[in-house]
A and B are shown apart, each in its own frame.
Chain A
Amino acid sequence: MRDLPRILRRAAGSAALGLLLGAAACAEVDGSATGAEGSDPRTLTVFAAASLTDTFEELAERFEADHPGTEVEFNFAGSSELAGQITEGAPADVFASADTRTMALVVDAGAAEGEPRVFARNSLEIAVPPDNPAGITGLADLAGEDVRVALCAEEVPCGAATRTVLEESGVDVEPATWEPDVRAALTRVRLGEVDAALVYRTDVIAAGDDVTGIDFEEAAAAVNDYPVVDLADAPQPDLAAEWVELVRSGTGGGVLEAAGFDVAAPE
């Protein structure tokens, strides 16, 4: 099923590359990325946690610019869902997860090529509508009787972080809904259906003026590490390694930091 579009793309790409060759632009092509297949357009497939959507798309533009003829394709979803797809044999080159627990599933299944590296950290923040109808100022306010709250379901990474924070702080929150991923929880705030949600700081920044973020001390109890790894069955192993490198580089760090991540110290 996947082969047909790839063949078409390859054919179209070859034609385009033919023109490039005529213009002697091939000198720009990075040797290590293209190797013997230099004239073939290639697709790097990255499976990444939904919270990485904006940053990774920005990095993909740079990657494609640095590797002419290469296309980066994403599958953004909940980390656990992606880990399931990878262990079931989905063709992917790189996996970037929103927590180390999910990454461990992939490593334990023998699907990782290298050692997973933490490249960013994210922590929880309270998201409220701009007018903050329930007057939330801190975590304890979420336990109020008339406060309607959306939390991430415990099955997904942001939910695990939520549980840790609530357990450590002893705040007892009864949410209106357990959302299946962090963006769904944020959407509840955007639509004004809830008074507050616990989401990642990066999601608050991505939402712009639609929501207001409130930092709270207790968030330190659950800082999420984001590991990335190239996969054992990667169709494009060399591109995969370069993507991991880009994500961990100063360039990658700048993009991630602008989006609200804490960037891990380079190892």
Chain B
Amino acid sequence: MRARAGSRAGVRVAAGRFPWLLAAPAVLGLAFLVAPLLGLLLRAPWSTFGTRLLMPEVREALVLSLVTATAATAVSLLLGVPLAWLLARTELPGRRVVRALVTVPLVIPPVVGGVALLMVLGRRGVLGQYAYDWFGYSLPFTTAAVVVAQVFVAMPFLVVSVEGALRAADRRYEDAAATLGATRGMIFRRVTLPMVAPGVAAGAVLCWARALGEFGATITFAGNFPGRTQTMPLAVYLAMQESPESAVVLSLVLLAVSLAILIGLRGHWSGAP
């Protein structure tokens, strides 16, 4: 299916003049994004690739990364989709301010986000101190803290994407369902959600990818301990201190795994080419 769609597009371009004006910057843009990747591949220590790859810490960090990024995406879906709906479909007072607040984590450096999380949820944080005093529980340095850091940084991608999809969706279907007597919850589940499913899927993929690459907020808020809070980006950063070759290997592993998953999901979901 997809192959045929592609060739048809090719024919259409060939029929007119080749769009140089767009193609030149497009190729340049692509080259800019791909060149660093090629650099990694060229500098990779292929002779020792296998042995570096089989170190137990690598598997540990990779598993932790995949698990936490997936958990962070699940949490983001649970909280982010309703938030997007609120922004797109209600006349919430101060909606503009809320929308700006949602995008704050996109703007501030993740390290600062991590510090902010510590200020609130740390052992002496605004809220964290009570959890520690009353229950002896403290969030930093746990795997849960990794997920929290990732949700903080990645959820805005999901919210923005879903809100866009909600705005673009035709509201008349929802109105029709309402006149037919459907309740609000029913409309949301049976009409709205299926309509914006591609947007939700795209947002979830973005969110997952961002969570997978999360570094600054994680190392600041969750610390670095192998098997507990050391995700792949942290492992890459620490490997960089001692052996850049190992860092390259780790980066390529992260890249390969995430590309495989993303490409796999894209075909599976939504049918978007």
Label chain B's interface by main secondary structure: loop
* Residue pair B141, A176 in contact (C-beta under 8 Å): yes
Give per-residue flags for A146-169: 1 if the beta carbon is below 8 A from chain B beta carbons, else 0. Answer: 001010010110000000000000
CB distance from B149 to the nearest CB of A (A): 13
Q: How far is the CA of A141 from the CA of B141 in the complex (A)?
A: 20
Q: Which residue of A lies closest to B230 (CB)?
A: A178
A-side interface size class: 20 to 34
* Residue pair A180, B244 in contact (C-beta under 8 Å): no
* CB-contact partner of B223 in A80, A81, A155, A177, under 8 A: A177
Q: Does B219 contact A (CB under 8 A)?
A: yes
Q: Which of A189-221 contact B (CB under 8 A)?
A: 191-193
* Residue pair A177, B141 in contact (C-beta under 8 Å): yes
* CB-contact partner of B229 in A84, A177, A192, under 8 A: A177
Q: How far is the CA of A78 from the CA of B240 in the complex (A)?
A: 11
Q: How far is the CA of A148 from the CA of B226 in the complex (A)?
A: 16
Segment touching A, from B44-52, B72-80, B117-125, B184-192: B117-125
Q: Does B91 contact A (CB under 8 A)?
A: no
Contacts of B110 on A, CB cut-off 8 Å? none
User: Taking A191-B118, A192-B124, A193-B123 as contacts, is the C-beta distance between A178 and B241 under 8 angstroms?
Assistant: no
Q: List 25 A-B contacts (CB under 8 A).
A: A80-B241, A80-B242, A150-B223, A153-B238, A153-B241, A155-B241, A156-B241, A175-B225, A176-B140, A176-B141, A176-B223, A176-B225, A177-B141, A177-B225, A177-B229, A178-B226, A178-B238, A179-B224, A180-B219, A191-B124, A192-B122, A192-B123, A192-B124, A193-B118, A193-B141
The 10 closest A-B pairs by CB, nearest first: A177-B223, A155-B241, A192-B124, A155-B242, A176-B141, A80-B241, A178-B224, A155-B238, A156-B241, A177-B141
